Amino acid sequence: MKPLQGVRVVDLTRVVSGPVCTWFLASLGAEVIRVDPPGGDVTWRIPPWVGAGGEQWEAMGPDDIGISYLRKGRGKRSAVLDLARPEGLDAFRRLAANSDVLVENFRPGVMASMGLGYETLAELNPRLIHASITGYGSDGPDADLASMDLIIQGRSGLMAKSGFPDGPPVKAGATVGDQFPAALCALGIVAALRQRDIDGRGQHIDVAMLDSLVALLWDEPLDLYRDRGMPDRIGNGDPRGIVETFEARDGWVTLVITSDAQYERLAEHMGRPDLLELGPDIPTRAANRAAICEAVGVWMAGQAVDGLVARLHGIRVPAGAVASACAAADDPQIRHRQALGALRHPDASEPTRWLGPAFPVKFSRAGTEQIPAETLGASTRAVLQDIAGLTPEEIDRLQAAGVLG
């Protein structure tokens, strides 16, 4: 049993935010039907490609799956429909009429222009939950602007806060502008399903990438900054306390001091009782932050990372090594939690050497394991016949006309 077992989702998404959202839903047990145009979207064509015989970089074969979709397509069925054709649109409407959720990440107005807007589909299926992820939302003066992760990180204010004072604004290392809205959209869909359990009605969910990153930023006192002026970018630190990244002998170490007790233990461990006078409380430590961090930096500079972090943990001071992103594959804690797993091609006997993230939420009595991503269009005929209700003869005619790729 999985939490969303019995929920059918039509996935009409592209690139990152939408596919990640529907991957979350598939992980929770929803039946996710990915609808692609003939040839698939750009993620199908990103090498390396993996087929039953292994990986290759030369040219995509008919049963190959691009590495990006090999990750984001896990747990999903694959159907191909040409929505530029009236027959394809009709088949899609019949599919939506027999589904619980539709997720798309087109610009506002695109779905309506195809005759697939929420109001139109809700007439066919009043219980349908239609979720849209866009850059700026479904309305407002900039709703029609095209957007991507980097643009939203800049517009939201996130980039202006990231980086060092003597350098340019810096984006986050991960595509947070795509992936955080994806998580919020999945949360909204689960909430809408719960509301539908109560009143029997679907609704439209409107998730904007810009709104999502603004929500991340305003957990800080930005309104206070508006009065006093924004502080300079501070790199990996925080002007409100001893939060910083320090260079040790063989790498970098993160340190976060949030309480007086932690600071006292650190000063005693360093053999620097004078630091207690320099920062007896949070406001004083914030005022003397530069001098304290300089002292801590000098102390850490000659030490090896592993031993240093172990000693700091021993005195209950939060610290950690700065690891390469690739190091996650060998991290004992990450391996123990099975946070990464080998990707598989559905027709291959052995897993690939490529890794993909596991769904990061663990349940005490529900699994989140997923079947491998399907090859492009593998479930087209079954989906159209079993869910959309097309006859085999109708499907044959669509195939002959090129509507199914």
Confidence label for 129 from pLDDT (cuts 50, 70 and 90): very high
Domain boundary pick from 294, 321, 348: 321
- Predicted pLDDT of residue 376: 96
Residue 372 shares a structural domain with residue 289: no
- Predicted pLDDT of residue 26: 98
Phi, psi of 237 (to 5 degrees): -100, -170
- Tell me the mean pLDDT in the region 273-293: 94
In total, the chain counts a number of residues equal to: 405
Enter the pTM of the model. Answer: 0.94
Tokens of 376: 């492009």
Is 333 within the bounds of a domain?
Answer: no
DSSP count for the chain of H helices, then E strands: 18, 14
Confidence label for 218 from pLDDT (cuts 50, 70 and 90): confident
Report helix, strand or coil for 39: coil
Residue 203 shares a structural domain with residue 316: no
Is 330 within the bounds of a domain?
Answer: no
Q: Are 404 and 377 in contact (CB under 8 A)?
A: yes
Residue 153 shares a structural domain with residue 284: no
Q: How far apart are CA 113 and CA 84, in angstroms?
A: 11
Residue 227 predicted with pLDDT over 90: no
Is 335 within the bounds of a domain?
Answer: no
Residue 93 shares a structural domain with residue 30: yes
- Predicted pLDDT of residue 30: 98
- Tell me the mean pLDDT in the region 102-121: 97
The CATH number of the domain holding residue 373 is 3.40.50.10540
- Tell me the mean pLDDT in the region 41-46: 88
Residue 365 shares a structural domain with residue 287: no
Window from 56-60, 227-231, 296-300 with minimum mean pLDDT:
227-231
Residue 234 predicted with pLDDT over 90: no
- Tell me the mean pLDDT in the region 37-59: 92
Q: How many domains does the chain have?
A: 2
Is 291 within the bounds of a domain?
Answer: yes
List of E strands, 156-310: 204-208, 242-247, 252-257
Residue 291 shares a structural domain with residue 354: no
DSSP string, 78-102: EEE--TTSHHHHHHHHHHHHT-SEE
- Predicted pLDDT of residue 87: 97
Residue 269 shares a structural domain with residue 348: no
Is 75 within the bounds of a domain?
Answer: yes
Residue 201 predicted with pLDDT over 80: yes
Report helix, strand or coil for 238: coil
Report helix, strand or coil for 243: strand
- Tell me the mean pLDDT in the region 290-294: 96
Q: How far apart are CA 246 and CA 254, in angstroms?
A: 6
Cα dist. 248→105, 238, 252, 325 in Å?
44, 20, 6, 19
Q: Which residues are 132's β-sheet partners? A: 104, 206
Tell me the pairing of strands 101-104 and 129-134.
parallel
Mean of the per-residue pLDDT values of the chain? 95
Confidence label for 225 from pLDDT (cuts 50, 70 and 90): confident
The sign of the CA dihedral 294, 300, 301, 305 is negative
Residue 140 shares a structural domain with residue 208: yes
Residue 93 predicted with pLDDT over 90: yes
Tokens of 255: 């340190």
- Predicted pLDDT of residue 232: 79
Residue 222 predicted with pLDDT over 90: no
Residue 112's Cα: distance from chain center in Å?
Answer: 26
> 45 or 99, which is more confident?
99
Residue 177 shares a structural domain with residue 307: no
Q: How far apart are CA 405 and CA 400, in angstroms?
A: 9
State which H helix or E strand residue 10 sits in. strand 8-12
> 268 or 239, which is more confident?
268
Residue 239 predicted with pLDDT over 80: no
Residue 170 shares a structural domain with residue 309: no
- Predicted pLDDT of residue 263: 97
Is 168 within the bounds of a domain?
Answer: yes
Residue 283 predicted with pLDDT over 90: yes
The residue to which tokens 């027709």 are assigned: 347
Residue 19 predicted with pLDDT over 80: yes
Q: Are 133 and 209 in contact (CB under 8 A)?
A: yes
Say whether 281 is catalytic: no
360-382 pLDDT tens trace: 999 999 999 999 999 999 999 99
> pLDDT > 90: what percent of the chain?
91
Q: Are 204 and 132 in contact (CB under 8 A)?
A: yes
Confidence label for 144 from pLDDT (cuts 50, 70 and 90): very high
Q: Which residues constitute the domain of residue 57?
A: 8-215+340-400
Tokens of 347: 């027709």
Confidence label for 221 from pLDDT (cuts 50, 70 and 90): confident
The residue to which tokens 């300079």 are assigned: 232
Q: How far apart are CA 239 and CA 287, in angstroms?
A: 9
Residue 100 shares a structural domain with residue 139: yes
DSSP string, 380-396: HHHHHHHTS---HHHHH
- Predicted pLDDT of residue 15: 93
Is 236 within the bounds of a domain?
Answer: no
Report helix, strand or coil for 348: coil
Is 46 within the bounds of a domain?
Answer: yes
- Tell me the mean pLDDT in the region 61-79: 95
Residue 226 predicted with pLDDT over 90: no
The CATH number of the domain holding residue 286 is 3.30.1540.10
Q: How far apart are CA 360 and CA 234, in angstroms?
A: 30
Residue 20 shares a structural domain with residue 88: yes
Residue 83 predicted with pLDDT over 80: yes
- Tell me the mean pLDDT in the region 290-302: 96
Domain boundary pick from 321, 353, 381: 321
Catalytic residue (choose from 178, 219, 223, 232): 178
